[in-house]
Structure formats: C-alpha cells, structure tokens
Structure 1
Amino acid sequence: MPEAELLFSETSQYLKPEDINQLRNAYSFGQGAHSGQFRKSGEPYISHPVAVARILCTLHLDAPTLTAALLHDVVEDTDISKTEISERFGEPVAELVDGVSKLTKIEFQTQEEAQAENFRKMLLAMARDVRVILIKLADRLHNMRTLEAMLPAKQRSIARETLEIYAPIAHRLGLNNIYQELQELGFRYSYPTRYRVLVKATKAARGNRREIVGKILEAIDLKLKESGLNAEVTGREKHLYSIYMKMVEKHLSFSEVLDIYGFRVIVKDIPSCYVALGMLHSLYKPIPGKFKDYIAIPKTNGYQSLHNTLLGPFGIPIEIQIRTAEMHRIAENGVASHWLYKSSDADFNDLHLQTSRWLQNLLETLSGSTDSLEFLEHLKIDLFPGDVFVFTPQGKILTLPRGSTAVDFAYAVHSDVGNCCVAVKINGENAPLRTKLKSGDRVEIVTAPYAKPNPSWLSYVATGRARSHIRHFLKTIQYDESVKLGERMLNQALLSFNINPDTINDTQWEKLVRDSGVKCKEELLTEMALGKQLPAVVAKRLASPLESISSDQIAGPITILGTEGLTVQFAKCCRPIPGDIIVGVIKKDSGLIIHTHNCANITNSQKNSENYLDVAWGKDITRTFESGIKVTTVNKQGVLARVAAEIAKAESNIDDIAMENENDFMHMRFILQIKNRSHLAQVIRGLRHLKEVVRVHRTKS
C-alpha cells in the first residue's frame, strides 16, 4: 500500500530502525484484522488507520503512539482483544488503544448517553496519558476530511460534535493547525450553504484586496528593517469559520467584515517583540482597546504572542501577531511540542504543567459527576477558551473563561473556598457574588466556616469546575435530607394504617427493596421524599403481617421545621408562613411542596388523594420565609423611602418590589422575609400608622 510506505519513509526521518519494524508489524497485524472491511468511500479500511498515523507523524510522535494509531480500531471493530495487543506490542500500546476505543459492549438508554459515556472514558484515559486524545483528534481529523461519503444528516451530526467537542479540545491543547482545520471542516458540513456563499465572497474579495495586502506586507517589512530587526513577516487570510463567527456575534454582513487578513511577525527574542510593536505603532495607528499581551500573561494552553489591531491604509483594520520562533512552534503544535522538539526549555515545562493542571481539574469534574450527560455539559463549558485574567490578593494570576463570576473564582482557588464563600471584594470594594469578572480585577473571597453552596449559584456560574462542585455538594446534602424526610413520611403512613414502624424487621425491608427495584433502603426513602414513590403505597406493601397499634398512637402530622433543605419547598402560589394551616403535596422529582390549606391550587378532592400529606409547623422555627404584601399609598415624593424604613423598623428584609401608578395613588407589591404570622401582622400594623398609606394587605401570589 503506497500510503503505508509513505508513513514508513516519513517516520524514518526521526525514528530508529527497530521502531520502523514495529510499525511495519503493526500495519501487517491491523491489515489482517481489518481484512474484508471497507470504508463508506469504498477504500480498504486499513487506509484510515494509516492516514491517522501519518497525521501524527507530522507532530513527530513516538513509536508507541503511532503503533496505537495503526491499531486504534481493531478492538472496537474486530475480534482482537486488548490482551492480544498487549502481548504482541506491549502494555503502553494496549492502554492507548483501549483509551481510544468506544464502549461498544455496554448498552445505554439513549444515543446521547452512550456518546457522553464514550467521551467520559476517553477523557479519563487522556488524563492518564495525553497521547490518547492526540490519536483521537487525528482520527477525527481524517474522518472529517473524508466525511463526504456519509449521508447529509450524519454529516451534520458529526460536524456539530466536532465543533462542540473536538475542535475546542485541540485548541485547549494548543494544536493550532488541527484546531483550525477541524473548525473549517465542521463549518463546511454543519452549514454547507453558508460555507459555499462565504467561499465565493472571500475569493472575490481576495482579488480586490491582493494589492492592498501586498503593500501592507512591503511597508511592515521595510519599517522593521529600518529599526535593524531581522523579522519574518507573513500575511494570511482569516479562516472562514472565524469570519462567519464574527458576522454572527456582531450581526455584520460580509462586506462589513473588513479585517479578513492578518499579519504575523516572527522575531528572534522577547525584547524584539516589543521593539517590533513600537515600530508598527509608528507606521499605523493602533485601535484603542484591541491590544492583548499574551507574552506577559500566556493563554492556558501555553500560547504566547502580542496581538494588536491597527488602522491600515484606506481605513482597513489589520490584525497583527508578533512572536518569537519558539512561541510560533508552540502555537502551532501545543502540547505535542514535547515530542516534536526535544527541549528542556521552561516554556515547554510551563506548557505541560498547565496541561497537567487542566487534566487534574478534568479528573475532579469526572469524580464529582455521577451522570455522563452532566459531565459532558461541564466539559463543554470548560473547553471554550478563557480570556479573563484576574489576580488573587497575593498577586497570583488566575485564568478563567469569559463570563466567569466571583463564585467561579472561589472554586478556581479551591473547592473548600468555593463551598464556604459568603462575600467578595473586587478591587477593594464589596460586590455581589454573581458579579462577572474583568481582566485585571483583584479578587478577594470572604468565607465563613458554616457557609454552604446556594442552589441559585448554578444559574450564573460559568465554569464546569464550579458547577460540578456545587451540584456534588447539593446532591450529598439533599440525599441526607431526603432519607430523613422519607423516613418521617413513611412512618406517618404506617401509623395511619395502625402499624408500628418499629415492628418492621430487616427481612421485610430487604424484600421491599428487592421488589421496588432500588439498591438499598436509603434509596427507597429518598425516592419517597422526592415524590418518585408514594409513602401510602409503600406502607400498604409493608402492611400485611405487621403488628397493629392502638388508636391513641396514630400518627400526627409531619412536622415542618423549615430546615429540611431542597427536599421541602414552599409553594410560590400561596407563600405559606408559620402560623398558617398547611398541607403537603408530593410532586414527582420535586419532593414535598407545602401549601396553605385554602390555596386556590388545591381542591378538597385532591386533599383526600395519596399525594397529599398531613403536615404542621414545628415549634421554635428560627428561619424566615417569603411573604407578599400589597401597599396602596398616596402618590407623593419620598413615600417609598418611608414605607421601606417602616418595614426595616419591623426587622423584615425586602426581597423584591414592583410598583405601578394609578392617578393619585401608587400600588406597591413587596416580597418580604417574615418569621411567622405574628411578625407579618407587626409589619402591617406599622405600615397602617403611616399617614400616606391608604390600604395594606397580604398577597398570596
């Protein structure tokens, strides 16, 4: 096969003869294993592993990686086992092949779940050895190059997955060439019509602007030579996907995207980068706010360069990148630079250290996510490049994705800091935890020993690490609370059948657990608390031979303390507070919902169903609850301030306010934090004493 001979010829440039022999053996072994198999294009299947190995050869990867590339589909698509590969080619090669192989032997509920679990397994293997993902990226790149043989629907599905997962991973590892080709191919097959239109438009623009680009190149080269700088200057056309995303994000037409060309200046050392920048500023005026120094503060994938946008001739903005030759090599090959250029430079060590940190964070996210789809969600969040650089109080720089908040920063410092954060100071001033951070912010997190994550944080955190830790903490807390609540609910149901809960023995519990299809007693109790199982139904199944109790021991209502956490929720439609007569409604996947007994959403017939529980407020409740009031006042200046002051005087906090004017009157609706009915009555009495107040009453929705 000519392609295989090209592979052996190319690898002989840097591998030893014994390594080439191993590749020949792997090729023969793979060719035999894939005998009779063909690709959709009609080519023998072995052509694909050879093409993957040739892509990796351009990165000068080692013999075990290239061997694994030649064998990466044999475990998945043939009868060859991992053990056979290990015996013939060694354990390292077998581990790499296993890391790339899909989970074909396991059945999943949905295609999405199978895909998510495949990513989970692959990335776990990648965290152990980054070469796994290098093979997978080369595999995906060749599949994208040959995607034309697939049906259009399959093309779009694979292309979307490439844009969402594989291209960002390549970017995260600094593999710039692979990243850009994956993006271009992903764009081509995701939006074929838009791709064709843009290709045509850029070809037309290229002819019109070729002369301008040539003049700019000549001017830059001449200016740098005048300053005595020995520099390599190149012009490049921006990639189609980059142009398309700019059009989408800024709502521009193609004709409005002026900077479709960029220029790269490569110099000998770091001081020369800044000298070149100064010279170019004297040639063309810089556009304010467009300068980025990735040399002083490198990107998380190790990328370093000076970026600036200048106003070129005829008012055309031109993008300039200035870097050293070493930076350019890392920019093109990223983490693979370790194999491509055998170097002990600090740049490479820093790059691998940053990659290791990211992989370590990935492992933490893996351990914190029990659900594969949830993990994939975290991964997608983390893969998009970060460009916000913030400082700790000690002056350490942290890189976070765009849109990150103070909570994301807290979890980036340490999971314990995130779990216990209560406030933040940004640049020395107090700020809300949901504040989005900007590059250059100095962030100080205030913690408290007994604080815990708030479920509302999930609505605004931007990093997978923060989201994973918050969910993990809440799930753990919710599980403990659910077990306790489920036990109280079941005990009440048993007592209503005149059954003493203490008479249920382990054998009866084991049978019930087995018949219910759950793993343990605690899981069954949790399902009752979350509304997935009805306590009355479970109690009936336990009712048969159990010992009855006397009527004076019949259970009273379940006590609500307000400290049950996520398993007990208070209905927004009626906003119950201590002192109200209440009922409990079991709602699937939401747990126990507390309503007032006269809530408009509850009918008498519903109250007699198995989904409703008898509940009552406990004593000595210390927390506050939401309650609504409507205040009608004379429409005068300063009346809102006086109403708010009176509410504060009664030791209540305002959560929300809405106002509307009606001729000479103003209607104010407040959501307040109230301890109980007596506290609410105190607030209302205080408001009625104000001469501007015409009417005040409680609202329940």
Structure 2
Amino acid sequence: MNLTPADSTVSALTSRAASERLIQKIPGTFFSSDTGVPAAPGVASVSQLNAKLAEYLSPAELKKVKEAYRFSDEMHLGQMRMSGEPYISHPIAVAEICADWKLDAQAIMAALLHDVMEDQDVKKEELIERFGAPVATLVDGLSKLEKIEFQSQIEAQAENFRKMLLAMARDVRVILVKLADRLHNMRTLGSMSPEKKRRIAGETMEVYVPIAHRLGLNNIYRELQDLSFSHLHPIRYRTLAKAVKAARGNRREVVSKIMESVKNTLLAAGITAQVYGREKTLFGIYRKMRNKHLSFSQVLDVYGFRIVVENFASCYVALGTLHALYKPMPGKFKDYIAIPKLNGYQSLHTTLIGPYGTPVEFQVRTQEMHRVAESGVAAHWLYKDDEGSLTDLQQRTHAWLQSLLDIQKQTGDSAEFLEHVKVDLFPDSVYVFTPKSKIIALPRGATALDFAYTIHTDIGDQTVAARINHEHAPLRTELRNGDIIEIITSASSRPSPTWLTFVRTGKARSAIRHHLRTINLSESIELGELLLTQALAALNLDATIPAATAERLLNESSAKSLDELYADIGIGKRMAALVARHIMGLQDSAGQPLQIRVDADDNPDAPSKPEPVVIYGSEGVAVQLAACCQPIPGDKVIGQLKRDQGLVVHTPDCELARRQRSKEPERWIDVEWGNDLNRRFDCRVIVLVENERGVLARVAAEIGESDANITFVGMDDDRGALMTQLRFTVQVEGRVHLARLMRNVRRIPGVTRILRERGQWTNSVR
C-alpha cells in the first residue's frame, strides 16, 4: 500500500480533530455532512459517501458502517499517505466507489477496514468480535500475507495474488473491494517515485485490468487501462492525448452530423432511444496503432456511438434502421445479444461507412444491457447462497470462480497458479457448442482438448479423439466461433506431456501438470536424481548432499523433500546445473568443506565432462522421443530438458533442435541409447511409386513381410499424376531393421525411391 505512518504529534492531533468533526452524531445520518471543511482535491468526500449509502442502506446497517468507520479512523490515527493526506481518506474513497455499485453493508465495512490488519496489526479475531465473521473474512482476503519469508519479490507477489483470488472464489465481494482499492491508488499515484509508479502500473495492467474485464466491470477496466498507460508510458500518453484533443475539434462537425442524422432516423422509425457519442480510450487507440502498425491519422474509428433502446426487439429494429441510413462494412457485425460475452456483456456491434467515408462503430443495447455492460457482476451484487436463484451472469462468474479452486488443488506453487489464472483472464473468447447445443466460452486459441477439460477434468484426462462439426480432427485443432465439438474418451487413456505444448486454458494446463506430477512421480524422481548427480559430477562434487546443505536447499527452493526437488528437475521445472551450483554456493557460504568426488583428478577445480544419460525408450513420460525427428536406436541423439515435459530426445541434425539449442544451450545434455531395447519405435518413410493399380497393396505387404507394423498410411490427392508419394509411419526396432525394410521395398516393381522422412508432415491424410 502507498502509505507512510506519520510520527509527528501535530499530524496525529490534526487527524483526530478532523475525525471528531467528521463523525458528529446527527439523527438519521451516518456521518455529519456539515463538517465545515471542504474536501481537498483527491480526498474522498464524507458527505458524498453518506448520501450514497443513505439511498439504499437501512438505519441499522448505517449504524454498523458508522462503527466500522470509527474503528478504522482510530486505527489509522496519525497515519498519512505519501501525498500528505490523512490516511483515513483512502478507505473512505474505496467505500465510496463500492457505494456506487450499491454493495451491501458488509462490503462497505470491509472497504473501510481493508488496511487495518495489514498496517495496524489488528487480528482477525478482534474483527470477528466487533463486526462479525463475514466482514472479518472479507478483510482477511484483502490483506497481504505477513510474517512469511519469501525467496523473492515475485514469489511474495504471486502468493499474495493467490490468497486474494482464492478468497474471491469464495466471495466475489473480495475482488470488488480490491478493485475499488486499486482504482483509488491508481488515481492518487502522483506522489510515488517513477520506479514505483511503473511497478504498480505494470502489476495493474497485468492482473487487475483483466480481472475487471473478466467480471464485466468495463468502467473500471477502461479507467485502469488508461491510468496504467499514463504511468508506464507517460510521454506516449501525453502525445496521444494532445493528438486526440486536436482531432476532437477537427471531427466535431462530422460527429454532430452523424448524431443528428441518427436521432432523426430513429425518431422517424418510431424508436425511442438515447444516443450517446463514445470516444475510444487513449490506451485503446494506442493498442490499435501498435498492433496494426498504424499512424494516428489512420485510426479512423476514434469515435463511435451507443444507442440505448427500451426493449430487446427494438435493438434489432434500430440495427436495421441504421443499416438503411449508412452502408454497413462487410464482416463487421457482431451479435453479442444472442451469444453474450463471457463476462455477461450484451450488445449489437456494427461498423458503418459514415459521411466522408469515415468508418463509425455503433453499439445497440437495452438499458439493462447497458447497466451490465458498465458494471458487470457488480450490477447483480446481491450475495446469494442459493445457486438456483443466480442470474446467467452470476452463474458464469460462479463457474469461473470455482475453476480457480480446481486449479488451486492441482497446482504446485503460487507462481504456477498465477500463470494459469492469467491465461484464463485473457479477454478474447470463442464460443462453441456441445452436441446438445449448450454454449461454451473459451479463450481465443483454445483447442479441442481445452474444450474437453472445460467440460470436466476426468473427460480431459481420458480424451482420445475429437469431432469438430461432425468430422474427426486432431486434439490440437484451434476452435472457431460456432464449432460443434464432440469428445471421444477411453477409460485407458492418460494425459501426455505433449498436450502441454498446445492447450490454452489454465484449467487444462494445471490438470495435465497435476497428472504428470502424481501418476508418473517415480519416473520423474529417478530421472531428476540422475540429472542432478551428473550436474554435481560436472562440478567435481559428490552426489551425496550433506544433511545441513540439503535442509537449507529445501528451505530456499520451497520444496518439501529431496524427492520433490528431483521430480521438479525430472519434469524440467528446475535446471539440474543451476541446482548443483546452488548446492556449491550453500556449502561455500556455510564454511563447510566442499564434498569433492573421490575419483576427481589432481585438479578438482577443473570441470569434468558428465556421462551421457542412457535411455531405453520405455521410461514413460519422463523421457519423450521428439515427434519432429522421431529418433530410433542407432541414431545419434541429444536431449533437451523441457519444462513440464522432462527430457525430450532429438537427433543432432533436427532443424527444430538446432534452433532451440542456439537459444537455450544450457538445457541440452548428452544422451545415448541403452542395450536390450525391448520395444519398437515409430519412424516415417516416403515411398515414390508409379501411379498404377495395386502398388499400395504391394508396398504394404512388403512392409509386413519385413516384420514392421504400419500405424499410418497416406498418399497424394493428385490421382492424375504419373508418380505418387506414399507416406507410412512404421514401427521398427532400430536403424538396422529400417535399412533392411527399405532395401526390401526398393526391390518392388513400380517403386522408384524410398527415403526416411525427418520433418513433421504438414498435411496428414485421414
């Protein structure tokens, strides 16, 4: 929080005198609205808060809120903000923002008390005794963690966010009060240092802006965006503000002409409507310029219009009237009334070609839709335990909040939890259908596998195939608006590490990672221990870690045991080389003698070359054979430690491996094939044949005669060509077996060439 305790007696007396004037007892009111002291710029007005609360709270509720105010004022007595204002002005301002949403008395009390636990060491038990358990729980959810040592600022921030988001999952009022708190802090950020402004603004843009959008709080969403933009890029903000101000004058005539035409046309059609001019936010303009590489003069739709009508049917009548007035731009119509956005937003969007060829965006909605569009979930703030009585918006919000609890159960640490939540906060969405026509909203870029996990975690874990619009499609297929998705499952199916490379939603990622961590734990531990042993050997350190060093290592890595640490290394979450260097540093800093390997040479400081990791191809998910080059026994191989996928084995000449090795050389280790490999390996071959009858059957028969199994076959679609490419995925024992197979196929009449395919096929044939 941006505050400093005031340690002067004068400040304390000033705050007390002001407080006494503010809380004079007047019948029927909560605060005195006649203090004789005008509110300073940026300081919350007690009289305004009093007036807002008196509109909808009962006298009994006002009395409870007054008690919360008295207690908060007493606790913050003598405390000042960085701007020099009495600190109590901040809780009042937060409560006033909450009062605009007409939040209940408990939420207003929590807004007034939200900093007393964090700043004044007030215990939760005391708040329960004074104000009741619900208010105390809200304040606790709003308070940062304290008296816990974290290894970094990032870890502490992630854990604080996790606490807040989980509290929000249990009671949405937590995040509503928190957003009000953040909004007032952003409005009063001017007294901070430039570095702190950038840090707070970045945090706001990264977490709080998408949360506000996800909950449909569009007014706060837009204001937080612009405030963050002004502190992150102050020069750009001022330049753009100046340009918009100049453009506003230049375009006033066009805007006035459009406004007049629209009003007259709607009136002539018998439609009662309110027409508002709407200007894009500065950040919205900046984002469009940046993403589409446009100059300011090329951003033509700086202005738009919002039309609010009386009822649902009038929305579509008004739309038709507008399309008759101005020509619509093809592909620029969106019906968010029939299919609302994930946060409950409903409107008709259309872009028309206005006077002088200027594109103009129109939004058409009812008054109720407008209220939800501006206030989102806060438009239906009533706290209800009966899920059946919730509105559609509340049910969608409730489902999302419950998904946070699901992610929490499956997540290993705070940073990972926050990463998953940030993914789900991404604002763009696609809307798809189940076979029973139920609408499911997913983030942009979500795949068929994301859809399966959205339905239920067990369905996602057992997914084997998907049908999109009644046709089979790969699980990695990105979904588009209007797709109909059907998931095919098998009780024997289990998640694959490769799924992590294409799933989009936080729920899917956390569920897959949870499965890989638990079901295949022993494999990951074994691989991780081997990798750490090799990394220690490279530093000429003994693989046996002293007990004292191990204890400090676990404390500083947040791992509960060495097995958990090994598992993290085995799935690529931690780098073995970095852990080994950390162990060396711990031994040095503790003054312990370094545990040098017994077999180290005369120069123990010289790093030794680690032995290659031996692979057998049957290690399970801890070791994966790369799909891009499909290595088989006999090939030279190298290994990549990939996060959450363990060890991925490539051939050295693989193009993808070369690119990734140049970017992250520290993640690559030497590997070699073991002996007695009792399994077969996939390999792709291309056979060029003359386009004649029976050739496919002859080639397939010969592959079978060569003791190889065919798992895939495809061919070119051009049937009129003289030559045809046949593509096979075959299972062989190794390079020797593959060479024998290729010799046998090459002798078939009609076969002109056969070769092994190393790159991934881009056009598979079903």
Task: Classify the TM-score, shorter chain.
Answer: 0.7 to 0.9
Q: How far, CA to CA, are the matches of 1:257 and 1:595 in structure 2?
A: 47
Which of 42, 50, 66 aligns to 2:84? It is 42
Q: 1:511 to 1:61 in 2, by over 3 A?
A: closer
Once the two structures are TM-superposed, the CA of residue 625 in structure 1 deviates from its matched residue by 4.4
Once the two structures are TM-superposed, the CA of residue 644 in structure 1 deviates from its matched residue by 13
Q: 1:333 to 1:452 in 2, by over 3 A?
A: same
> 1:275 aligns to what?
317
Q: Secondary structure at the match of 2:251?
A: helix
Q: 1:24 to 1:526 in 2, by over 3 A?
A: closer
CA contact (8 A) 1:687 1:696 kept: no
Which of 681, 700, 705 aligns to 1:624? It is 681
Q: How far, CA to CA, are the matches of 2:412 and 2:67 in structure 1?
A: 41
> 1:139 aligns to what?
181
Q: How far, CA to CA, are the matches of 1:227 and 1:588 in structure 2?
A: 63
Once the two structures are TM-superposed, the CA of residue 583 in structure 1 deviates from its matched residue by 11
Deviation sequence 1:70-91 (CA, Å, 0-9, x none): 1101111112111111111111
Q: 1:269 to 1:259 in 2, by over 3 A?
A: same
What one-letter code is carried by the residue in structure 1 that aligns with 2:733?
K
Q: How far, CA to CA, are the matches of 1:116 and 1:104 in structure 2?
A: 13
Say whether 1:122 aligns with 2:164.
yes
What one-letter code is carried by the residue in structure 1 that aligns with 2:681?
T
> 1:682 aligns to what?
740
What one-letter code is carried by the residue in structure 1 that aligns with 2:293?
H
Query: Which has the higher mean CA deviation after the structures are superposed, 282-291 or 568-577?
Result: 568-577
CA contact (8 A) 2:710 2:728 kept: no
Q: How far, CA to CA, are the matches of 1:655 and 1:76 in structure 2?
A: 65
Structure 1 unmatched ranges of 5 or more: 491-508, 535-540, 542-556, 602-610, 658-667
Structure 2 unmatched ranges of 5 or more: 1-17, 19-38, 40-44, 533-545, 581-594, 596-611, 652-657, 659-668, 704-708, 716-725, 760-766
> 1:238 aligns to what?
280
Q: Secondary structure at the match of 2:363?
A: strand
Once the two structures are TM-superposed, the CA of residue 486 in structure 1 deviates from its matched residue by 7.9
Q: 1:460 to 1:310 in 2, by over 3 A?
A: same
> 2:209 aligns to what?
167
Query: Which has the higher mean CA deviation after the structures are superposed, 11-20 or 512-521?
Result: 512-521
What one-letter code is carried by the residue in structure 2 that aligns with 1:117?
E
Q: 1:411 to 1:71 in 2, by over 3 A?
A: same
Which of 108, 111, 132 aligns to 1:66? It is 108
Q: How far, CA to CA, are the matches of 1:240 and 1:295 in structure 2?
A: 27
Q: How far, CA to CA, are the matches of 1:160 and 1:488 in structure 2?
A: 40
Once the two structures are TM-superposed, the CA of residue 588 in structure 1 deviates from its matched residue by 11
Q: How far, CA to CA, are the matches of 2:143 and 2:729 in structure 1?
A: 55
CA contact (8 A) 1:337 1:348 kept: no
Q: 1:630 to 1:393 in 2, by over 3 A?
A: closer
What one-letter code is carried by the residue in structure 2 that aligns with 1:411?
Y
What one-letter code is carried by the residue in structure 1 that aligns with 2:392?
D
Q: 1:587 to 1:401 in 2, by over 3 A?
A: closer
Once the two structures are TM-superposed, the CA of residue 615 in structure 1 deviates from its matched residue by 7.6
Q: 1:224 to 1:613 in 2, by over 3 A?
A: closer
What one-letter code is carried by the residue in structure 2 that aligns with 1:414?
H
> 1:563 aligns to what?
618
> 2:599 aligns to what?
none
What one-letter code is carried by the residue in structure 2 that aligns with 1:210?
R
Query: Which has the higher mean CA deviation after the structures are superposed, 168-177 or 470-479?
Result: 470-479
> 1:301 aligns to what?
343
RMSD of the alignment, in Å? Answer: 4.4
Q: 1:346 to 1:205 in 2, by over 3 A?
A: farther
Q: How far, CA to CA, are the matches of 2:428 and 2:641 in structure 1?
A: 40
Say whether 1:222 aligns with 2:298.
no
Which of 433, 438, 443 aligns to 2:480? It is 438
Deviation sequence 1:83-127 (CA, Å, 0-9, x none): 111111111111110000011221111111111111110010001
Once the two structures are TM-superposed, the CA of residue 450 in structure 1 deviates from its matched residue by 1.7
Q: 1:315 to 1:348 in 2, by over 3 A?
A: farther
Deviation sequence 1:422-441 (CA, Å, 0-9, x none): 22222122222222111111
Q: 1:225 to 1:365 in 2, by over 3 A?
A: same
Say whether 1:9 aligns with 2:61.
no
Percent sequence identity over matched residues? 53
Q: How far, CA to CA, are the matches of 1:161 and 1:527 in structure 2?
A: 28
Say whether 1:99 aligns with 2:141.
yes
Equivalent runs, 1:252-271 vs 2, <5 Å = 252-271=294-313
Q: Secondary structure at the match of 2:394?
A: helix
Q: 1:52 to 1:398 in 2, by over 3 A?
A: same
Q: How far, CA to CA, are the matches of 2:199 and 2:409 in structure 1?
A: 28
What one-letter code is carried by the residue in structure 1 that aligns with 2:303?
Y
Q: 1:409 to 1:154 in 2, by over 3 A?
A: same
Equivalent runs, 1:346-361 vs 2, <5 Å = 349-361=391-403
CA contact (8 A) 2:218 2:373 kept: yes
CA contact (8 A) 1:266 1:322 kept: yes
Which of 471, 475, 486 aligns to 2:517? It is 475
Q: 1:167 to 1:516 in 2, by over 3 A?
A: closer
Q: Secondary structure at the match of 2:122?
A: coil
Deviation sequence 1:217-273 (CA, Å, 0-9, x none): 111111111111111111111111111111122221111111111111111111111
What one-letter code is carried by the residue in structure 2 that aligns with 1:563?
S
Q: How far, CA to CA, are the matches of 2:519 and 2:742 in structure 1?
A: 36
Q: 1:515 to 1:380 in 2, by over 3 A?
A: closer
Deviation sequence 1:621-654 (CA, Å, 0-9, x none): 2x42458x899x9xx9989x99999589524568
Once the two structures are TM-superposed, the CA of residue 196 in structure 1 deviates from its matched residue by 1.0
Once the two structures are TM-superposed, the CA of residue 281 in structure 1 deviates from its matched residue by 1.0
> 2:252 aligns to what?
210
> 2:539 aligns to what?
none
Once the two structures are TM-superposed, the CA of residue 49 in structure 1 deviates from its matched residue by 1.0
Say whether 1:288 aligns with 2:346.
no
What one-letter code is carried by the residue in structure 1 that aligns with 2:734?
N
Give the TM-score, by structure 2 length. Answer: 0.74
Say whether 1:197 aligns with 2:239.
yes
Q: Secondary structure at the match of 1:38?
A: strand
Q: How far, CA to CA, are the matches of 2:713 and 2:296 in structure 1?
A: 47
Once the two structures are TM-superposed, the CA of residue 584 in structure 1 deviates from its matched residue by 11
CA contact (8 A) 1:581 1:616 kept: no
